[in-house]
Amino acid sequence: MRILTFTLWLTIAMGLSVSAGDETKPTYLDESKPLDERVDDALSRLTLEEKIGLLHAQSKFSSRGVQRLGIPELWATDGPHGVRPEVLWDEWNQAGWTNDSCVAFPALTCLAATWNPEMAALYGKSIGEEARYREKDILLGPGVNIYRTPLNGRNFEYMGEDPYLSATMVVPYIKGVQSNGVATCVKHYALNNQELNRHTTNAIVDDRTLYEIYLPAFKAAVTEGGTWSIMGSYNLYKDQHACHNQYLLNDILKNEWGFDGVVVSDWGGAHDTRQSITNGLDLEFGSWTNGLTEGRKNAYDSYYLAVPYIKLIESGEVSTTELDDKVRRVLKLIFRTAMKRDKPFGSLCSESHYEAARKIGNDGIVLLRNENDVLPINLDNGKKNILVVGENAIKMMTVGGGSSSLKVQHEISPLDGIRAFAGNKADVNFARGYVGDISGNFDGVTSGQNLADDRSADELISEAVEKAKKADYVIFVGGLNKSAHQDCEDSDRAGLELPYAQDAVIEALAKANKNLIVVNVSGNAVAMPWVKEVPAILQAWYLGSEAGNSIADVVFGATNPSGKLPFTFPMRLQDVGAHSAGEYPGTKRNDADIWDEHYNEGILVGYRWFDKKGVKPLFAFGHGLSYTKFDYGKLTADRKSMTADETITFTIPVTNSGSKAGAEVVQLYISDPKCSVMRPEKELKGFAKVYLQPGETKNVTFTIDKDALSYFDAESHKWVAEPGQFKAHAAAASDNVKSTATFELK
């Protein structure tokens, strides 16, 4: 945590008076002056060594300021689901603080599943307040890489498979965080779509696919969200590492999009001084001069943008043109965050943050299946006997998974949440069912749980089945966890199936009790060979501190589920475009430790592939049921045709024809049936979450312009909307179109 107060920084600044009426106050200290003017003034006062010192880390999570001028350090913290606990200065191990616990918010897959920008704004504001209270300047998140394969171990940190959904949800998150004077660092830019071989994979992607699928969320983060920093990714693109990549960072990010913030390397993502100088990297963290080979004293000075950079300047091999641009960006970031005097104080582990975490979790849980209305469980018509089965019902999920691992003040398990909600209206029993990962430790943060169980798989299943036969309802809580090769940084899953032989447990329970509810906890799609045998299935994500309470709210009907899937659940792994047409995990070059991976599926990612190939998914993108019923009317347009400089508005009435209040996510897809290039069958171009009382009808409207009709033409490097007939589809999911309207672009 920062030690010097802002007042002290000012008083040491060059020995100058800093009173409000002092004419000699340096411009860079005067927040009434334009930001660029302040930056130029500060830049003019820096020595070469001070400039270089601003460009690289001085510890695991901080970079230098300029003490002589009262310019403070920058402190970063991992996100994007909570503020990471403090680690030692030069190590990943815990610093041993007792006041660095946090609220864990739901993982970003859950946020995306809300399809609700209001939840994204609440999320950003809340986590930003926690980061601000902890005196952090940069929150390393959110993540917006596209869900290309369900094997990617880091998908749970991202916002799904669709660029429009991700772009829409990331903007209010950024604005919420930065309203606290804390910078978001949107990651991982770009094409970081797997963890396997993440440091050595060279993504081979055509420009149309890059611009239509993998860049829109990053562009929205810059041009609409105004993010103050962006993190480069580990992988290569065009044979250059993404953290110093001419095309991604200079040509697109800074020149095309006008990004005026800081490009931060992922920890260890920089590999070369000259490329770091010329190819867009501004602030270097985590390079492998970690004290083991260079010596602890000069480890950070040995970074690529440290002493090696000074030597190139002093020898005349490089100019200071790039240096001054980098320093301007870093100074601007410091003035926006660490030196911003009117930012709020923030708050940590507040009641409002727990309420926000629960609200977001409730809004994002997806009801995948509910045959015979098994859900919600009614506790008002006699005392119930409920059996909860599964390791994920008791295992802490906030510890592990990589850099997003957290030290929480508390975490409500699904079992505890169910028991608390049921109270004396039900007897809630537990059976283990299976043993998965009994560990609970990451970088010195421990769950404190002892999950060891020496019983055999047969014994565990037998116990669960016998108890299930006597229960009114059985709730199986399983899925993945945050161990290696599941939902975890630096490793991918081995396959689509559930681990730890959970399928056998579920199938046995289905035979023992007709009222079986499966709660799948994961950030990825999983195979469900038992899907037709289980009447009710919930997709519950990693829900953070309030996980158990959110699950209980939905199971017992206090919350009517309204989440929708932000990615497709395939029947088989081979049904996914990246595995059917594309290369995964890539092909190793004969002469180098580089894996070339061709994205041969192109723009047909997620539902676009399933639509085009006519493949039936297990659960479609945008799918999600409710405890009530929604009827759609006819989609109409306010005009029959539009020109390129006009908009068109579509309206569709939606009615809650059921008996419970609820929310429906109405989705608008656009089709271009006749085009000179291949286009998806339809693409998401609008959505709205509408809340309806029983019997209530509301008109849902969408207004689009030619951007929603355009494709990216790589040859001309422009977005093109070809005149002709288009179709607009109002849908409840990508495979559930309710009404279609035809219109013309003239």
pLDDT above 90 for 54? yes
Q: Does residue 343 belong to any structural domain of this protein?
A: no
Q: Does residue 1 belong to any structural domain of this protein?
A: no
Say how far apart CA 157 and CA 543 lie, in whole Å: 12
Does 323 share its domain with 374? no
Say how far apart CA 481 and CA 399 lie, in whole Å: 10
Of 501, 527, 559, the residue that ends a domain is 559
Q: Does residue 566 belong to any structural domain of this protein?
A: no
Q: Does residue 609 belong to any structural domain of this protein?
A: no
pLDDT above 50 for 16? no
pLDDT (average), residues 337-343: 96
Radius of gyration of the chain (CA): 26
Say how far apart CA 289 and CA 713 lie, in whole Å: 43
Does 450 share its domain with 539? yes
Q: What are phi and psi of 323, to 5 degrees?
A: -60, -50
Q: Does residue 623 belong to any structural domain of this protein?
A: no
Question: What pLDDT was estimated at residue 299?
Answer: 86
Domain harbouring 90, CATH code: 3.20.20.300
pLDDT in tens, 65-116: 999 999 999 999 998 999 999 999 988 889 999 999 999 999 999 999 999 9
* 739 touches 633 (CB < 8 A): yes
Domain harbouring 696, CATH code: 2.60.40.10
pLDDT in tens, 147-186: 999 999 999 999 999 999 999 999 999 999 999 999 999 9
Q: Are strands 426-431 and 229-232 parallel, antiparallel or unpaired?
A: unpaired
Does 453 share its domain with 391? yes
Does 413 share its domain with 301? no
pLDDT above 80 for 294? no
Residue 289's pLDDT band, with cuts at 50, 70 and 90, is low
Question: What pLDDT was estimated at residue 11?
Answer: 42
Residue 297's pLDDT band, with cuts at 50, 70 and 90, is low
Question: What pLDDT was estimated at residue 112?
Answer: 99
Of 559, 593, 619, the residue that ends a domain is 559
Does 291 share its domain with 198? yes
Share above pLDDT 90 across residues of the chain, in percent, rounded to a whole number: 93
Q: Does residue 342 belong to any structural domain of this protein?
A: no
Q: Does residue 573 belong to any structural domain of this protein?
A: no
Question: What pLDDT was estimated at residue 7?
Answer: 41
Q: Give the C-alpha distances (Å, rounded to integers) separating 477 from 216, 519, 541, 629.
A: 35, 5, 11, 26
pLDDT in tens, 400-428: 999 999 999 999 999 999 999 999 999 99
pLDDT (average), residues 275-295: 81
266 is an active site residue = yes
Of 336, 357, 388, the residue that ends a domain is 336
Question: What pLDDT was estimated at residue 20?
Answer: 40
Annotated catalytic residue, options 78, 100, 162, 266? 266
Full strand arrangement of the beta sheet holding 236-237: 240-241, 236-237, 201-204, 595-598, 587-588
| Helix orientation angle between 117-133 and 163-178, rounded to the nearest 10 degrees | 40
Does 320 share its domain with 389? no
Does 440 share its domain with 307? no
Does 414 share its domain with 476? yes
Q: How many domains does the chain have?
A: 3
Say how far apart CA 741 and CA 247 lie, in whole Å: 40
Does 502 share its domain with 540? yes
Residue 293's pLDDT band, with cuts at 50, 70 and 90, is low
Q: What is the dihedral of CA 253, 254, 259, 262, to 10 degrees?
A: 90
Closest CA to 745 of 643, 662, 648, 657: 643
pLDDT above 70 for 8? no
Domain that holds residue 195: 6-336
Say how far apart CA 138 and CA 628 lie, in whole Å: 42
pLDDT in tens, 481-540: 999 999 999 999 999 999 999 999 999 999 999 999 999 999 999 999 999 999 999 999
Amino acid identity of residue 157, one-letter, is E
* 411 touches 398 (CB < 8 A): yes
Q: How is residue 487 written in tokens?
A: 């939902």
Domain harbouring 382, CATH code: 3.40.50.1700
Does 375 share its domain with 513? yes
Does 471 share its domain with 401? yes
Share above pLDDT 70 across residues of the chain, in percent, rounded to a whole number: 96
pLDDT in tens, 212-262: 999 999 999 999 999 999 999 999 999 999 999 999 999 999 999 999 999
Amino acid identity of residue 407, one-letter, is K
The mean predicted confidence, pLDDT, of the chain is 95
pLDDT (average), residues 197-203: 97
**Chain-centre distance for alpha carbon 720:** 30
pLDDT above 70 for 658? yes
Does 327 share its domain with 378? no
Question: What pLDDT was estimated at residue 288?
Answer: 78
